[in-house]
Structure 1
Amino acid sequence: MATKIVFLDRETFPADIKLKSISHQNEIISYDHTSPEQVVERIADADIVITNKVKITQDILKQARKLRFIAVAATGTDVIDLFACKEKGIPVSNIRNYAINTVPEHTFALILALRRSIIAYHESVRAGRWQEANQFCYFDYPIKNLANSTLGLIGDGVLGKAVAEVAKAFGMKVLFSAYKGVPNMGPLYTPFEDVLKHSDIISIHCPLTDSTRNMIDEAEFNQMKSTALLINTARGGIVNEEALCDALINKVIAGAAFDVTKNEPPKPDDVIMKLTNLSNFILTPHISWASFEAIQSLADMLMDNIEAFLSGTPQNVVNP
């Protein structure tokens, strides 16, 4: 009998990304999008569910009587009730190490754009400022080198370490932050508060958990340099967006660039959308992971995870 596999949000992959076949007899049903109200019906008789951003809650699991395995098409698993899955004996696998190039590259694209005011200068050229200046250049926005500056990294996983290597190539000093509230994690780590205090640029590369939610709030912004930049390519919710808004408008910090938001997509009246009018804020639509090479690698690993489960040797399990 064929294994029924349901992909709840196939459109989170571009159309040109291919899902490779697996050796076990199966039937894959793909939905472009799935609303919360549609989840129960769509996975009612599924053996395996693939989800990227569709939430699988305890109530949903109670009604998915045939479900044997969940394959998350991402690294983050905050959309899954992992405890409830473990109670029901449903392993959950995620994707690992696929974005080792794309996320660091996007991180530094954002850093360089802010550090050299690239977007602000581009917009001013479009508005006619160069002609108005009547000379070969003008200096309306700050430009600073990366060399000899300090990069504070919150998150020391594969991505954080890859960002550190790029930073060193630019001649930057790198500080890895200890966990917030944990002053001494050994010589490789700098206390969280010291990272905030001494970094010229702070870049976030940790997961969203109960302990990291709103980890950067008003008190943390007040500890940063007034010239500091904050970069978040990790998860929305790690930074309090209201506090971010206040920090930028009141010039507590010099700028920020985010690839993630608390609500995705953000609502038109969400506070973070107000910041898009500022010259020192950049918002991209959660695409730091999305190079073609990275997504195809992710898709291949996704199917490998399913193949491994069906072969009796599940891999990349997050709730053993």
Structure 2
Amino acid sequence: MSLPTSATPTVVFLDRATIPTQIELPELDLEHKRIDYDFTSPEQVVERLQGVQIAITNKVILDRERLSQLPELKLIAVSATGFNNIDIDYCADNGIAVTNVQGYATQSVPEHVIAMIFALKRNLFAYHNDIAAGEWQRNKQFCFFTHPIGDVAGSTLAIVGSGALGQATATLAKAVGMKVLFAERKGAPSCRDGFVPFEECLQQADVISLHCPLNEQTLNLIGERELAMMKSSSLLINTGRGGLVDEAALVNALKQGIIAGAGVDVFTQEPADSSNPLLANMSLPNLLLTPHVAWGSDSSIQNLANILMDNITAFIKGEKQNRIV
């Protein structure tokens, strides 16, 4: 699962446009050839990776059908943490190494989560829209109160996912005065020390923040049943993966007052379109949407780029770094 020491590898970045142009990709320490494509359609994958030893992908799908046509491919370097777009089992069975990038957004994602919590707790978006609609002028007072304003300090945040991002979010939440709980895995037969049973977290928390991976066990982790367990005053924040939440059930919960608000940065299909229940209802005053950018501060993306290329250098040198397989 390595390259011959005499080889000059070709590195192809299938979706370079997922990294902003102002972010520099460090050059590898070793001799190589690199080709960048801004975007790659499913039909272009095999053609662009023919004879290539190293592929970089963020969201381009590399499944069994495509990988089976790429016998020279030795490394898939994922320019993200999530790797559910890669057929990991095929790679493990056929000697293709896979690396990902972890821990690069431990400042950016928590700040985005806390920003969403403040915006929703204080109903900033709703008040902004009221002013635009002329409510202040009609009220004829120096201020007006059309929406409740909640304090963040003193509220309880339940975090689902105790990895680097979950832990960093907990640190920042505590700094602004929140009490933090870590949720045990849904359906777990027992509860680890330092964790709270999943359903208890839903019932106790003022805010639920999702930071777990998307897999068969976490698909629709939050659905109609789970939303009904939450406080009517609670918020749901999802900066993890879109499939963690049943989007139609979430919209219904917001409309029916089952929960107070939601901040969503990730969607089941990206880019989302008007067929997505969240986009179709984005005028709701208690729904805050952002386009999968929680991870995307310039400093975090530069960290990602540095780690990504370090992973490739390590592989070429025969070293294991951030390996999935």
Q: TM-score range by the shorter chain?
A: over 0.9
1-side partners of 2:75 and 2:87: how far apart?
A: 13
Q: Is the 8 A contact 1:151 1:202 kept in 2?
A: yes
1:82-134 superposed Cα distances (whole Å, 9 cap, x missing partner): 11100011110000100010000000111111000111111222222222221
1:9 touches 1:53 (CA, 8 Å); kept in 2? yes
Contact 1:183 1:192 in 2 (8 A): no
Match of 2:160 among 135, 138, 154: 154
Aligned residue for 1:216?
222
Q: Select which of 63, 70, 73 maps to 1:64.
A: 70
The aligned counterpart of 2:200 is 194
Counterpart residue number, 1:301: 307
Shift of the alpha carbon at 1:183?
4.5
Q: Which amino acid aligns with 2:288?
A: I
Residue 174 in structure 1 maps to residue 183 in structure 2: no
CA–CA separation in structure 1 for the residues paired with 2:249 and 2:131: 31
Picking from 33, 42, 57, the partner of 2:48 is 42
Pick aligned residue for 1:286 from 292, 301, 307: 292
Tell me the amino acid that sits aligned with residue 79 of structure 2.
A
Q: Distance in 2 between matches of 1:250 and 1:37?
A: 43
Q: Deviations 1:20-44 (Å, cap 9, x if unpaired)?
A: 1112211111110011111111111
- Out of 19, 27, 30, the residue aligned to residue 13 of structure 1 is 19
What secondary structure, in the 3-state scheme, does the structure 1 residue paired with 2:281 have?
A: helix
| Alpha carbons 1:50, 1:72 under 8 Å: kept | yes
Q: Which residue of 86, 89, 92 corresponds with 1:80?
A: 86
1:276 partner SS: coil
SS in 1 for 2:242: coil
1:238 aligns with 2:244: yes
Q: Secondary structure at the match of 1:174?
A: strand
Deviations 1:115-171 (A, max 9, x none): 001111112222222222211110001100012111111011111111111111122
Give the counterpart letter for 1:127 in structure 2: A
Contact 1:147 1:172 (C-alpha < 8 Å) held by counterparts: yes
Q: What residue ranges of structure 2 are gaps of 5+ in the alignment?
A: 1-6
Distance, in Å, in 2 between the alignment partners of 1:36 and 1:140 is 48
Paired residue secondary structure (1:120): helix
Give 1:254 shift.
0.8
Q: Deviations over 1:232-269 (max 9, x none)?
A: 00001000111112111111111101000000011222
Q: Which residue in the other structure is 1:252 paired with?
A: 258
For 1:167 and 1:303, locate their aligned partners in 2 and report how far apart those are by CA, in whole Å. 32
Q: 1:227: how far off?
A: 0.8
Secondary structure in 2 matching 1:74: coil
User: What's the secondary structure of 2:48's corresponding residue?
Assistant: helix
Q: 1:53 aligns with which of 53, 56, 59?
A: 59
Match of 1:110 among 104, 111, 116: 116
Identity score, percent: 48
Displacement over 2 Å in runs of 4+: 183-187
Aligned residues: 319
Secondary structure (helix, strand or coil) at the match of 1:63 reads: coil
Report the TM-score when normalising by structure 1.
Answer: 0.98
For structure 1, list consecutive stretches of 5 or more residues without a partner in the other structure. none
Q: What secondary structure is seen at the aligned counterpart in 1 of 2:190?
A: coil
Match of 1:124 in 2: 130
